[in-house]
Amino acid sequence: MSTNTVQKRPGGRSAAVLNSVKIAVEELVQEKGRERVTIPMVAERAGVNPTSVYRRWGDLQTMINDIATYRLDPTRPIPETGSLKADLTAWAREIVAHYRNPTNAALLRGGAASAGETESDCTRNRRAEAGMMVERYGATSPVTPDEVLDHLVAPIIYRVIFLPWTLDDGTADSLVERLFAGR
């Protein structure tokens, strides 16, 4: 007997459907905004029957959240340059670059609407990553993880949601600079 049999069948057609739906969702969210996207619309763009989407995800909210999870891989390597300031700069640049992609920004805005009750994946992951970097430098660190969230992550996310056109190449650097000012 082989290892325990899984419920899902990964390869083949199922995977193809998943992939084409994923692409369709990303395109449509970027084009129209999460608000104006419907499941039949996604199905048509993906060349898939709406029924398949309903069966697999149930509703639009679940589907989009699920698909958004595939982005900004939580297992990606965290910058490790030897200096906390340089680590945070590289890390912040990654986040800014990620959210300058209009699709990712639209998905974030959509996620904001349904946040508040439980801690979102996005927030939890950023907090954990910040904690890892700060703790490398022990009690000598000039900044705390909470300060990183308040003064590095929060300004970036705020701009992504409300002022996306103010996000430029220098945003990450100047925020880090200000974070370390007077320390």
Partner DNA sequence: AACTAAACGCAACTCAAATTGCGTTAGTAT
Partner DNA sequence: ATACTAACGCAATTTGAGTTGCGTTTAGTT
**Site residues for DNA per CB under 7 A:** 1-2, 5, 7-14, 17-18, 38-41, 47-52, 54-56, 58-60
Closest approach, Cβ 27 to its own copies, in A, equals: 16
Distance separating alpha carbons of residues 124 and 162, to the nearest angstrom: 21
Distance separating alpha carbons of residues 66 and 150, to the nearest angstrom: 27
CB nearer to its own copies: give 17 or 157: 157
Distance separating alpha carbons of residues 24 and 20, to the nearest angstrom: 6
The number of CA neighbours under 13 Å toward the Cβ of 14 is 7
CB nearer to its own copies: give 120 or 141: 120
The answer to whether 76 touches 137, Cβ cutoff 8 Å, is no
* Residue 115 binds which entry of DNA, its own copies, none, CB below 5-8 Å type-dependent: its own copies
* Residue 10 binds which entry of its own copies, DNA, none, CB below 5-8 Å type-dependent: DNA
Backbone φ and ψ for 9, nearest 5 degrees, come out as: -105, 105
Contacts with its own copies, residue ranges (CB under 8 A): 33-35, 61, 105-106, 109-110, 112-117, 119-120, 122-123, 147, 149-151, 153-155, 157-159, 161-164, 175, 178, 181-183
* Residue 59 binds which entry of its own copies, DNA, none, CB below 5-8 Å type-dependent: DNA
* Residue 183 binds which entry of DNA, its own copies, none, CB below 5-8 Å type-dependent: its own copies
* Residue 155 binds which entry of its own copies, DNA, none, CB below 5-8 Å type-dependent: its own copies
Of 32, 25, 88, 91, the closest CA to residue 60 belongs to 25
CB nearer to DNA: give 7 or 140: 7
Which one-letter DSSP state was computed for residue 111? H
Give the helix ranges, DSSP H, for the chain. 12-32, 39-46, 50-57, 60-68, 84-100, 102-113, 121-136, 145-148, 154-162, 171-180
CB nearer to DNA: give 12 or 82: 12
CB nearer to DNA: give 46 or 92: 46
